[in-house]
Structure 1
Amino acid sequence: MRTVGLIVEYNPFHNGHQYHLRESVKIAQADTVVAVMSGHFLQRGEPAVMDKWARTEAALRGGCDLVIELPTAYATQAAEWFAYGAVSLLEATGVVDAFCFGTESGEIEALQQAARLIAHEPPEFQQLLREALEGGISYPSAYSTAVASYLTSIGNHEAAAFPYAQPNHTLGLHYLIALERIKGTMEPHTIRREKSEYGQTTVTDHAIASATAIRKLLLEGGELGGCRSLVPATTYEVMEREWAAGRSPVSWANFVQPLIHTAVTQTPEQLSGYREIMEGLEHRFLNTLPKLDQIGFEPLLEALKTKRYTRTKLQRALLSILLHHKKEDFTAEKLAAGVEYIRVLGFTAKGQQLLRRMRSEATLPVLLSAARSPVQSRYLELDTQATAAYMLAQPGHTSAAAMFRDFTDKPIIID
């Protein structure tokens, strides 16, 4: 039984995701699909529109066979550590033969060449990266600039001309760098994104739109029916249930009060101890609050934004305050040590077969519940804390028990 791995957020699982899943199965000649999925908080520093169990159900009903959780410590990181955690997890299952990711071009050769050459960051590359950052541009832009400059300096002009700065190319490059660093055995593949660009905010096709555009419909339009043609029927059924129960949609607007409460009850020195708070951002944040005409997430973000502080960087910084993510828990040394467990969120009958194989082939403990973990892990503590924070912010939250679902809920099973 051949298995392909996918690295996903499914926020929510839409028609474009289903296309990617089916094409991944074809290109990898796979019989089963393992998805490593972010939990309640995502790579761009945002809360998921639906909780991780609802998104797991949509993924399983949409074609995945096994869904495992990317720990919050990696899921909320920039591309390098997000990719490292996800690729490491897929490799650690012991059952994934290949993994497939989407890119703007659908071409992988230049990405592989670059990954092999810069995976261990030679001194010349590090110097080019420092110089690019000194120019005041964002880290992703500086990184792609340094990659192109380094490849040019060693005479690899063809690879240097590749558009590394495009978002999916950037992420794809980091997936391949992670594979090099862990000496992984999985075969990498990529397929081209179709009909919508990463982060595109408008719907330009009747069937396929970016997750960003769909969330905009859900959060700004207020009409669940507006996305009916853009998601599989199975996803829409899950969404209808979650909306009717008052558990969704969740957005940053649900977290503004606890975020500001945390901020105003701490000194600038205390705030500077949170991950992603640097270069005086703690002072800018506290100085901005009294100037706001209204308390809201978007007004706060607009007031904080500069050329250096992009929306995504700010969201990650604010999320670190909300979730009390201290810098000492996120050092490069600790993150490089890797994930310490494989948390199963759900599976199908085929997925259950994979779980049986993983009992002997996985290189990490396999958890079906946080309550029965054989490891004492700070990452698992951060996951359960993130769940508690998310559940408290759900629009229809009424039960304290929901905060402890990591300890009480069994994996989602789809026959």
Structure 2
Amino acid sequence: MRTVGLIVEYNPLHNGHYYHYQQSKKTTNCDAAICVMSGHFLQRGEPALVNKWARAEMALRMGADLVLELPVAYSAQPAEWFAFGAVSALDACGVVDNLCFGSESGDIGWLDAAADALQQEPEHLRLLLQGELKRGAAYPAAFSRAVSQLVPGAREEELARPNNTLGLHYLIALRRLGSDIVPQTITRTKAEYNQLNITDKQIASATAIRKLLFEAQTLEGIGPFVPDYTRSILEREWNAGRAPINWEKFARPLMLQLLHHSPEQLAGFHEVTEGLEHRIRRAIAELPPLTGGAVVEGLLDRLKTRRYTRTKLQRMLMRILLNHSKQQLAADVLREGVPYLRVLGFTENGRKLLKRMKTAAKVPIVTKVTDGISPLLDLDIRATSVYALGYDRPGHRDLFRDYFEQPLYIASV
């Protein structure tokens, strides 16, 4: 059974994701698909619209055979570590033949050439990057400019596009892991990654769909852009008070963390860099009363500069909210790759994959959560508890759901 690996967030799963899934299996001639999916907190430092179990169900209803959770240690990281963690999970499965990712360029040739040049972190790249950062560029822009100067054929404007950037880091991760997985890419069409306006009758970005949903406070408008099962699952979660979730749901616990810690203590959290701990305190002092419903938005507006992107700041606030220290997420820890494979759901084909993985996987497979399996899994358990604070009526099973929830099984779709 040939298997393709997909790295996903599905926030929420929409028609563009379904197209990517179909084309990935077709392009790679694979019979099965494994999704490595971010949990409750995502790559841009945002909480997911709906919890990880609901999004895993969307993936299985679409046709994915096995859904594995990308630990929060990796899921809310810059592209390099996000990609490394996700690719290390696919590689650790021992049964994945291909990785297929979407990109704006649709051309893996120049991405491969760039990955070859960058896999050993050349000193010249580091010097170029430092130079751009000293000139005040945000890290993503600095990286794109530095790579375009180092790698022939790598254009800055193409490198700056988010799916191309992630694709490059997937290819670098495959090389650093010495993986046999064969990468391929599919052109992203009809909607850009962060495109807010909707320009097609069936395809819209997840960003645009979330915007539509939050502005209307109803699911009615998203119907043309998502499969029926996505809408049905969202409706169920909405009616249960478990959706929709955004940053403002965590304004009070976040403010408690920010006010409870001194600037020196804030500096110990992951992603708090270059004196941001002091900038946080000044920004809090400028906030209006905490009753307007846009507390986190106001904080981000006051923290943002040309140097610090919104994404960087969101990831920083998320690490403070979750109490993630620099030590817990040090490069030496992340460089080891995922230490386990957490199963969120599977189909009958997925059951067969899991049977093969019992002997082929490079790390333990987790279907039942207990304490002490891994420090990274402990972070995910705590992330679930914090995420549940965003529900309308969280109960103890919501707060500790990782212990109660068995992997979802769907026989067929």
Q: Tell me the TM-score normalized by structure 1.
A: 0.96
Kept in 2: contact 1:342–1:364 (CA 8 A): yes
1:4–1:25 CA contact under 8 A, matched in 2: yes
Could you list the per-position Cα deviations for residues 129-149 of structure 1 after superposition, in whole angstroms to 9, with x for gaps in the alignment? 111111111111111111111
Q: Which amino acid aligns with 1:129?
A: L
2:77 is aligned with 1:81: no
1:252 is the counterpart of 2:251? no
Q: What is the distance in 1 between the residues matched to 2:403 and 2:128? A: 47
Which residue is 1:387 aligned to?
384
1:224-243 per-position Cα deviation (integer Å, ceiling 9, x unaligned):
11101110011111111111
2:96 counterpart SS class: coil
The one of 155, 158, 175 aligned to 1:163: 158
Checking the alignment, whether the CA contact within 8 Å between 2:92 and 2:363 is kept in structure 1 is: yes
Map 1:220-231 onto structure 2 (within 5 A): 220-231=215-226
2:256 aligned partner: 261
| TM-aligned CA deviation for residue 220 of structure 1 | 2.0
Shift of 1:161: 6.8
Over aligned residues, Cα RMSD in angstroms?
A: 1.2
SS in structure 1 of the partner of residue 327 of structure 2: helix
Q: Please give the alpha-carbon distance, in whole angstroms, between the structure 2 residues aligned to 1:162 and 1:390.
A: 36
Counterpart for residue 406 of structure 2: 410
Q: CA deviation at 1:395?
A: 2.4
Equivalences, count:
407
1:275 aligns with 2:270: yes
The amino acid that maps onto 2:390 is A
Asked whether the equivalents of residues 32 and 65 of structure 1 are also in contact (C-alpha less than 8 Å), the reply is yes
The one-letter code sitting in structure 2 at the alignment partner of 1:18 is Y
Counterpart CA distance in 1 for 2:272 and 2:123 is 27
Give runs of aligned pairs for residues 314-329 of structure 1, distance below 5 A: 314-329=313-328
Instruction: Kindly report which structure 2 residues correspond to 1:186-201, keeping only aligned pairs within 5 A, or say none.
Output: 186-201=181-196
Superposed CA deviations along residues 278-308 of structure 1, whole A, max 9, x for unmatched, are 1111111111112112331111111111111
What's the secondary structure of 1:99's corresponding residue? strand
Q: CA deviation at 1:271?
A: 0.4
2:366 and 2:331 map into 1 onto residues whose CA distance is 25
Query: Partner residue of 1:148?
Result: 148
SS in 2 for 1:163: helix
Match of 2:197, SS state, is: coil
TM-superposed deviation, 1:160: 5.1
What is the CA distance between 1:396 and its match in structure 2? Answer: 3.4
Structure 1 residues not aligned, in runs of 5+: none
Deviations 1:2-40 (A, max 9, x none): 000000000000000000000000111010000000000
Q: State the one-letter code of the partner of 2:281.
A: L
Deviation by residue 1:214-265 (Cα, 9 ceiling, x = unmatched)? 1111122212111011100111111111111111001101000000011111
1:161 to 1:406, Cα distance in 2 relative to 1, 3 A: closer
Q: Which amino acid aligns with 1:242?
A: E
Task: State how far apart, in whole Å, the 2-side matches of 1:121 and 1:352 are.
Answer: 39
Cα–Cα, structure 1 residues 161 and 79, in superposed 2: closer, same or farther, change >3 Å? closer
8 Å CA contact 1:100–1:189 kept in 2: the answer is yes
- The equivalent residue for 2:361 is 362
Hey, what does 1:134 align to over in structure 2?
Answer: 134
Moved over 2 A (4+): 158-162
1:286 to 281, 284, 307: 281
Match of 2:332 in 1: 333
- Secondary structure of the equivalent of 1:338? coil
Give the match for residue 95 of structure 1: 95
